[in-house]
Amino acid sequence: MDIQRAQAVLFGLAVGDALGYPVEFNSLEEIKQIYGPNGILEPPDPAHYTDDTQMTIALAEGLLEFRGIDIAQGDHPGDERIVVRRLLRRAAGRSA
């Protein structure tokens, strides 16, 4: 996958996350009561993404850093922690 497609995937995820944020924990019936039968069609203003997007970005960054390491072949044992470190940094509110 080229960089533009990867960026588009992450952008689409963030937009979808922001669109669904206001109704994340609502039932389908509650969503229909609030937004009508078609559900939420416009992002809220301001549109906020959630920790789901943050964790996906951290995972993507960790996988990019991890790329090329073949732990099955014994390369850099323990480096699978790269992804975990990225997730923990994001969870702590620091940029990865």
| 26-72: pLDDT as tens digits | 999 999 999 999 998 888 889 888 989 988 888 887 777 766 655 55
Q: Rounded mean pLDDT of the chain?
A: 80
Strands (E), 20-73: none
Where among 25, 47, 69 does a domain terminate?
Answer: 47
Residue among 45, 50, 57, 55 at smallest CA distance from 20: 50
- Counting every residue, how long is the chain? 96
pLDDT of residue 14: 93
Domain that holds residue 75: 50-96
Do 70 and 29 reside in the same domain of the chain? no
Tokens matching residue 72: 């099955």
Please state whether 74 falls in left (phi above 0), alpha (psi between -120 and 50) or beta: left
Do 42 and 8 reside in the same domain of the chain? yes
Do 38 and 54 reside in the same domain of the chain? no
Do 43 and 63 reside in the same domain of the chain? no
Do 54 and 28 reside in the same domain of the chain? no
Do 62 and 85 reside in the same domain of the chain? yes
| Stretch (H or E) spanning 90 | helix 81-91
pTM for this entry: 0.67
